[in-house]
Every structure is written in structure tokens, then in C-alpha cells.
Amino acid sequence: MVAQRFEDWADNGQVEGDLLAEIIRNQRLFPVFQPIVDLRSGECLGHEALIRGPENTPLHAPYHLFNAAIRHQQLHRLELLCRRCSLQRFATAGLPGKLFLNVSASLLSTPDHQHGFTAELLQQLGIPLERLVIELSEQHPFDHHGLTRAAVEHYREMGFNIAIDDLGSGYSGLKLWSELRPDYVKIDMHFVRGIDQDSVKREFVRSICNIGHSLHCQIIAEGIETVEELHTLQEMGVRYGQGFLLGRPDAAPAIPLDPLAIRKGYVDGSRAWRSVNTETAQVLARPIPAVAPDDRLCEVSEIFRQMPQIGSVPVLLDGEPVGIVRRAELLELFSAQYGRALYEQKPVSRLLRQEVLIVDCDTPLEQVSQLITEQDEGQAIQQELLITLEGCYLGMGSVRDLLKRITELKIRNARYSNPLTLLPGSVPINREIDALLQKAADFHVAHFDLNGFKYYNERYGYSRGDQVLRQIGGLLARHIDPAHNFVGHVGGDDFIVLFRSRDWYEICTRILADFEAQRVELYKTQHFEAGGFRSRDATGTERFQPLLSIAVGVVYPDPYKCTSHHEVAELALEASRGAKRCDGNAIFENPERFLRQPWREQAPPR
Ligand code: C2E
Ligand code: MG
Ligand code: MG
């Protein structure tokens, strides 16, 4: 079904209805969040929640999901569920600022709403009411009725902010604006696309800004994709913006790019998948305003005055960092007699310091720390670093924050890692699997298990046994690229690898070949040459035990059927048994993507 084209599939109403019912029953909805940014200060105003159905299904996109819900008379149930999921995720992710929530207009007049469903939920989650902005579309793709003033007033009286979404996409936008008096108006992306090259679009946006100004309503430009569009909107004084250029919708959105720092030549790049346990320089990036080498020192001084907590200001040339200006040096210069009068009009380049560490936001924290300690011995340790995305300035980080974060991670990792191999143990493995299922990601799980380990331990002693486990841990870590895959050690001789790369089979084959080559070091010569040794089994019968080998059981979990790591673990164990039935080193893939269990079929809808 997954591989079928949407058109073929959509003809089949029954299948669509079943999938929709299953999504609603098991709450398989995944909100993503897109930042909305202040185009003047670079601050994040908040995030818009956008819903996704399970990945790799025809109901992944909200358009198809809501249309299916309309066809099957499930719109209201779906809508309430979307709201619940979005609010819960927003609360657990701890996102800053406001939450912009899309609401289908016709729902406003249903009894569910009169009874304060949303307010109650917010209270349970500890989110203040004024952080919520209800987005109403003037021409909602799914629904054209029900946007009444009374219903909107009801929301407003409860303390929510109101936004009109997609202004300009329908016919009645201005009428709605005048009637509803929203707090925000979002300009449809039609007017943003190519605005730098279209004077008519600029005129429309200018008029919208003027009306907004008179009615005390804030304007948000949607769908900003290019640097040129951004700059045009900034020049026109549009206050807020949203779009792929500033930040893509994501389950755990990165800090948005600072619109003041984005310069021509910036390219939006896709980032490599990374384990939830690997943190990068991005977590350190704080959006500190930047200056250019030609700016005057009084402007730097003003930034320091407004931000007493920062020790330096970044200097950019065409969006790329070239150095910093330090607070202490500026103060020293200004505090000399007539210092301020003499120097405040001088260019920033006069105090520019180039000896600052510049790192890409994808650099793992450990590596950043290494770069700092590797600096010349004679040089004073730097207190700050400049963080870039594809060469362009993203933010500044402090060495203090870096050390703090690394210490926290070390403590957490030590608590949850296997003491023998220092690989992540079952808690982080399970967390990782659940995170992948949540994202409805495409991944393979490989369970590595040693055949005959018990007899090896008995024959050679536990200390040699531990050495074998360490060797396998090292082997896995060497062959597995952590940027795409994840290695964990459950305990004993059980290891788990989560593969997001497609070449999992080739990687497993190479690991087995390496293990086979290293096996000679684990045995006395006579045992190795004989291909094993004799030992007694549990019943006291003497049996020949062949050399150690690895059984790899692989599964490909179906993210919209497996709800947690428990089911994935069950599948992996089944596959591992299959691999153990083969002789020697073996890889076995379990063709079942999900084990049917009678109790699941009967589970009441949640
Ligand atoms: P919307 O509320 O106008 O959301 C903005 C849409 O524009 C989103 O599409 C977003 O991914 C997309 N977008 C953002 N920046 C850019 C950009 O720079 N370029 C382009 N080309 N697109 C951009 P998405 O997520 O597919 O959502 C489509 C619509 O589905 C939303 O339009 C909204 O009306 C509706 N929707 C999404 N989630 C929910 C929900 O939970 N409840 C309701 N009632 N409607 C929802
Ligand atoms: Mg919206
Ligand atoms: Mg919109």
C-alpha cells in the first residue's frame, strides 16, 4: 500500500477510511513547528504548529489528511486531536514565544468549543492563555463556512489572540479584517513570492502594512524563501516573517536564522540526521546582533549598552564572520581622556580581532571542545565562538555554555551507558527508537548477538569474555557512521544498531568479515585450528563448541504500526532467533514489519 501512488489509492475510499480511522484511533499525528521571526530584531515571536500524518502514507500532508477527514465525516474529531497533539508537543518541547494554531472556521460554532476545550487543555499543560494565537483562514482549504464574529469574540474573551491566515488568497479578506479586528494578519505567500521583482505586489503589501498600522494589527509575511524577498520585506518595514529561509517546519525546530545576518549567497541546506544524543554547536548559538567593519564604534557601544551580558559583538562582511569586537577593549579605548569623542566615529575595523574560533553549527560539541583546547599554548583561551551555517553567521556561543553542556551530557551518558563498552545502554536506545517512531522515520534495526558466548566465558574466563565484548563494541563503532546511524549496547552480548543509511547490509557484511579476521586473537592456537573446543552443556553432555560467531537479526519496523520500542524489540528478537538458526556468522532479515497481537486488535480507541 505504501508504494502505491496516491491517485490509485485515493480511489479506494474504504482503504482511505481505514487508514484515517487507524490514525485517529492511535493518535498517529505528528505536529511540526515553524518559527515566526521579528524581521527587525531577529527575535523569535513564536512558532506555528503544522500537522503531519504518518510519513510514507498518503495522508502525510495536511491537505490530504483534512480532505480525507471531510470525506469520512471526521473533520471535528481530527481537528480536536490535532489541537491536543500540537499543544502537548509544544509544551514538552519547551518552545519559546507564542503558539500559532490553525483552526478550521466551522469548528468555532460547535459545542466542543463553547465548553472551553482548548482553555482547559492549556491549563493542564501549564501554558498561559495569552501565548496562544488562533489562526483563522479567510479561505480555508477545507472549509468555507462558520467564521462568525460571535464565535471569534468567544475566543477573544477567553484571552486568546486572533490571526487571519492567508490574507489575499480569497475574496473576503478585507471584510473579515474589518469585522474581526485580529491581532495579527498573515499575508499569503502569493504576495511574498518574487516580491523583489514585482512592483504591484509591493504596492499591495505596502497598503496592508498601512492598514495594519492604523488598526494596531501586526503583519506577518508568510513563505519567505529567498534573501531578496526577505530584504525587500525588511526595507518595506514588514514586522514579522515566516518561511523556509528563516526556518523549516520541524518536530524540534532549530533556532531560526537571524534575518539581520542573512546576506546574499545564503543557501538553505538540508542537515544530516543525527542521534538525539548527539548535540552540536547549534545548541550554543545565541542571536547576538552583528556589525560590519565599516560601521562606527558608537554602534557597537550601543549594542553593549543594551546587552550587558555579552562580552563581544560579531563582525560580518557580506554575512560571513570576520572577527569580533571585545567589550573590554572598547571600554579601554573610550575610557581614556577624550577617548569616546575621539573614537566613537571610527570604523569597527579599528578594534577588529580575528583570533576567534569559527565553527559550523553541525560540529559536534566534543569536537568544538577539542578545537578550543588545541589552540596555541601561549594564546589565552578564548571565551567565545562564532557559529556559522554554510559559512554564514548563525549566532555566538560562549565557552562557558559549552563546558556546562558537555558536563551535563557526560553525566547523563555515564548514567545510561554500558560500563564495559561505554556505548549507550538500553535507556538511550529505547529513547532513540521512540523518537524515530514519533517522526515516522524510515529505519532498520539490527540486533547483534554472539553465538556460543556462554561457553567461551566458561572456557576462557569472564575477563577474556569482557575483552571480546569490548572488541565487538569497538568494531561496531568503527564501521558505523554516527552522523547517520546509532550504536548501542543493551547488555551482555546484545548490541543494537539503528540504521538510517540504506547500505545497512553492506555495513553488516563488513563488520562480520572483520570479526572473522580478528577471531584468531581470541583463541589458543589448538582451539582456533580445530575450529572450536569441547565443553559440557547444561545437561553434562560433552559437545563440540564452534568458534564464536555473530548472528545479526534485522528488522524494518513499520512506524505507523509499531507504537513503541517494545514492539520493535520484539521484532528484533524474532529476527535474531532467525539469524541464530543459521550456522556461524549470519545476517537474517525479518520480513514481518509488525507482529500481530490479539490484545492490540481489541484495544479501545484512545
Ligand atoms: P498555513 O496555515 O497557511 O501554513 C503554511 C504552509 O506553508 C505550511 O504548509 C508550511 O509548511 C508552508 N510554508 C511555510 N514556509 C514556506 C515557504 O517558504 N515556502 C513554501 N512554498 N511553503 C511554506 P503545510 O504544513 O503543508 O500546511 C498546509 C495548510 O494545512 C496550512 O496552511 C493550514 O491551513 C493547514 N493545516 C496544517 N496543520 C493544521 C492543523 O493542525 N489544523 C488545521 N485546521 N489546519 C492545519
Ligand atoms: Mg496557518
Ligand atoms: Mg498561511
Query: For residue range 45-61, what is the model confidence (pLDDT) as tens digits?
Result: 999 999 999 988 889 99
In this structure, the answer to whether residues 315 and 451 fall within a common structural domain is no
In this structure, the answer to whether residues 50 and 158 fall within a common structural domain is yes
Measured distance CA(226)–CA(246) in Å, rounded: 9
Which of 165-169, 407-411, 477-481 has the lowest average pLDDT? Answer: 407-411
CA distances 232 to 37, 237, 265, 337, 573, Å, are 15, 9, 16, 43, 57
**Cβ density class 220-258: b for 16+ within 10 Å, e for less:** bbbbbbbbebbbbbbeeebbbbbbebbbbbeeebbbbbb
Residue 435: the pLDDT is 78
Strand pairing report for 98-103 and 44-50? parallel
Residue 186: the pLDDT is 96
Question: Of ligand 1's atoms, which has the minimum distance to the CA of residue 245?
Answer: 18
Q: Does any domain span residue 86? A: yes
Q: What's the 166 CA to ligand 3 centre distance in angstroms?
A: 4
Cα-to-chain-centroid distance, residue 419 = 29
In this structure, the answer to whether residues 163 and 73 fall within a common structural domain is yes
In the three-class reduction of DSSP (H, G, I as helix; E, B as strand; rest coil), residue 37 is classed as strand
Helix, strand, coil proportions of the chain in percent (round to 5)? Answer: 45, 20, 35
Strand pairing report for 132-137 and 161-167? parallel
Q: Is the CB of 147 under 6 A from ligand 1?
A: no
Residue 606 has pLDDT above 60, yes or no: no
* Residue nearest atom 46 of ligand 1, based on CA coordinates: 102
Residue 374: the pLDDT is 78
> Residues 355, 379: contact at Cβ < 8 Å?
yes
Residue 521 has pLDDT above 80, yes or no: yes
Residue 597 has pLDDT above 70, yes or no: no
Residue 164 has pLDDT above 60, yes or no: yes
**Cell (9 digits) for 351:** 578594534
Residue 604: the pLDDT is 35
Residue 276 has pLDDT above 60, yes or no: no
Q: Which of 519, 515, 521, 473 is nearest to 494 (CA)?
A: 473
* Residue nearest atom 8 of ligand 1, based on CA coordinates: 50
Write out pLDDT tens, residues 281-294: 887 888 788 999 99
In this structure, the answer to whether residues 19 and 73 fall within a common structural domain is yes
Residue 436 has pLDDT above 90, yes or no: no
Q: Does any domain span residue 413? A: no
In this structure, the answer to whether residues 26 and 162 fall within a common structural domain is yes
In the three-class reduction of DSSP (H, G, I as helix; E, B as strand; rest coil), residue 182 is classed as coil
Cα-to-chain-centroid distance, residue 189 = 24
Cβ < 5 A residues, ion ligand 3: 165-166, 222
Q: Got the DSSP string for 71-98?
A: HTT-HHHHHHHHHHHHHHHHHHHT--SE
In Å, the largest CA–CA distance within the chain is: 97
Q: Does any domain span residue 411? A: no
Write out pLDDT tens, residues 539-562: 888 889 999 999 999 999 887 778
High-pLDDT (> 90) share of the chain, %: 46
Q: Which of 33, 14, 86, 23 is nearest to 59 (CA)?
A: 23
Q: Which of 356, 380, 406 is the last residue of a domain?
A: 406
Total domains present in the chain: 3
- 10 Å CB burial of residue 19 (0-12, 13-18, 19+) is buried
* Residue nearest atom 20 of ligand 1, based on CA coordinates: 223
In this structure, the answer to whether residues 156 and 214 fall within a common structural domain is yes
CA distances 375 to 381, 385, 401, Å, are 8, 13, 19
High-pLDDT (> 70) share of the chain, %: 86
> Residues 515, 550: contact at Cβ < 8 Å?
yes
Instruction: Tell me what the mean pLDDT of segment 481-509 comes to.
Output: 90
* Residue nearest atom 16 of ligand 1, based on CA coordinates: 223
Q: Is the CB of 243 under 6 A from ligand 1?
A: yes
Question: Of ligand 1's atoms, which has the minimum distance to the CA of residue 51?
Answer: 38
Q: Does any domain span residue 271? A: no
Q: What's the 50 CA to ligand 1 centre distance in angstroms?
A: 6
Q: Which of 47, 49, 3, 52 is nearest to 27 (CA)?
A: 52
The residues, ordered by sequence, that sit 6+ positions from 406 with a Cβ below 8 Å of its Cβ are: 365, 366, 369
Residue 3 has pLDDT above 50, yes or no: no
Q: Which residue has the higher pLDDT, 578 or 46?
A: 46
* Residue nearest atom 30 of ligand 1, based on CA coordinates: 62
Q: Which of 406, 433, 454 is the last residue of a domain?
A: 406
In this structure, the answer to whether residues 438 and 486 fall within a common structural domain is yes
In this structure, the answer to whether residues 474 and 339 fall within a common structural domain is no
Q: Does any domain span residue 270? A: no
Q: Does any domain span residue 260? A: yes
Q: Is the CB of 51 under 6 A from ligand 1?
A: yes
SS (H, E, C) 228-274: HHHHHHHHCCCCEECCCCCCCCECCCCCCCCCCCCCCCCCCCCCCCC
The whole-chain average pLDDT of the chain stands at 84
Instruction: Tell me what the mean pLDDT of segment 323-341 comes to.
Output: 93
Q: Does any domain span residue 412? A: no
In this structure, the answer to whether residues 373 and 522 fall within a common structural domain is no
Residue 62: the pLDDT is 93
Q: What's the DSSP call for residue 537?
A: -
> Residues 49, 118: contact at Cβ < 8 Å?
no
Residue 212: the pLDDT is 94
Residue 225: the pLDDT is 87
Instruction: Tell me what the mean pLDDT of segment 292-316 comes to.
Output: 91
Helix ranges (DSSP H) in 417-553: 426-438, 453-460, 462-479, 504-518, 525-530
Q: Is the CB of 82 under 6 A from ligand 1?
A: yes
Measured distance CA(447)–CA(552) in Å, rounded: 6
59: CATH: 3.20.20.450
In this structure, the answer to whether residues 359 and 236 fall within a common structural domain is no
Q: What's the 42 CA to ligand 3 centre distance in angstroms?
A: 21
Residue 111 has pLDDT above 80, yes or no: no
In this structure, the answer to whether residues 318 and 197 fall within a common structural domain is no
Q: Which of 208, 235, 264 is the last residue of a domain?
A: 264
Q: Is the CB of 244 under 6 A from ligand 1?
A: yes
Residue 110: the pLDDT is 64
* Residue nearest atom 33 of ligand 1, based on CA coordinates: 102
Q: Is the CB of 223 under 6 A from ligand 1?
A: yes
In the three-class reduction of DSSP (H, G, I as helix; E, B as strand; rest coil), residue 522 is classed as helix
Write out pLDDT tens, residues 58-86: 899 999 999 999 999 998 899 999 999 99
**Cell (9 digits) for 34:** 515553524
Which of 132-146, 329-343, 388-402, 446-460 has the lowest average pLDDT? Answer: 132-146
Structure confidence at residue 582 as a pLDDT band (50, 70, 90): confident
Ligand 1 pocket mutation pick from 29, 33, 50 by most atoms within 8 angstroms of CB: 50
Ligand 1 pocket mutation pick from 79, 80, 87, 102 by most atoms within 8 angstroms of CB: 102
372: CATH: 3.10.580.10
Q: Is the CB of 226 under 6 A from ligand 1?
A: no
Q: Is the CB of 137 under 6 A from ligand 1?
A: yes
Residue 264: the pLDDT is 37
Supply the angle between the helices 117-125 and 75-93 in degrees, to the nearest 10.
20
Measured distance CA(35)–CA(95) in Å, rounded: 10
Q: Is the CB of 249 under 6 A from ligand 1?
A: yes
Q: What's the 124 CA to ligand 2 centre distance in angstroms?
A: 24
Write out pLDDT tens, residues 356-405: 899 998 888 888 888 888 776 666 667 889 999 888 888 889 888 898 88
454: CATH: 3.30.70.270
Residue 406 has pLDDT above 80, yes or no: yes
Q: What's the 222 CA to ligand 3 centre distance in angstroms?
A: 6
Q: What's the 127 CA to ligand 3 centre distance in angstroms?
A: 23
Measured distance CA(202)–CA(2) in Å, rounded: 43
Q: Is the CB of 79 under 6 A from ligand 1?
A: yes
Cα-to-chain-centroid distance, residue 184 = 27
- What pTM value is reported for the model? 0.51
In this structure, the answer to whether residues 108 and 248 fall within a common structural domain is yes
Question: Of ligand 1's atoms, which has the minimum distance to the CA of residue 225?
Answer: 18
Residue 171: the pLDDT is 66
The residues, ordered by sequence, that sit 6+ positions from 153 with a Cβ below 8 Å of its Cβ are: none
Instruction: Tell me what the mean pLDDT of segment 329-339 comes to.
Output: 92
Residue 198 phi/psi, 5-degree rounding, is: -135, 105
Measured distance CA(363)–CA(388) in Å, rounded: 10
Domain around 497: 420-590
Residue 216 phi/psi, 5-degree rounding, is: 55, 45
Q: Does any domain span residue 598? A: no
Structure confidence at residue 138 as a pLDDT band (50, 70, 90): low
Q: How many CB atoms lie within 10 A of CB 113?
A: 18
